[in-house]
């Protein structure tokens, strides 16, 4: 849905998300579907740690 208040600038490049997804899939396939390392979480705040613990307590895995 287009914005009713903002107008697109002329000459602005529009990025199609389907094109981005296709390029990303191609790059991943070329690299053999690499496994991306997860964040170690060494700098998490106490509230984030509590949230992740609550998610795990409900059976979720983060």
pLDDT in tens, the chain (62 residues): 567 777 766 777 888 999 999 999 999 999 998 888 888 888 999 999 999 999 999 998 87
CA end-to-end distance (rounded Å), the chain: 33
As given in the structure block, the two tokens for residue 22 are 């296709």
């Amino acid at each position: 849905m287009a914005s009713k208040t903002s107008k697109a600038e002329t000459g602005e490049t529009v990025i199609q998300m389907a094109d981005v997804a296709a390029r990303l899939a191609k790059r991943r396939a070329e690299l053999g579907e690499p496994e991306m390392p997860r964040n170690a979480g060494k700098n998490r705040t106490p509230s984030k740690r509590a949230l992740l613990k609550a998610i795990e307590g409900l059976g979720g895995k983060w």
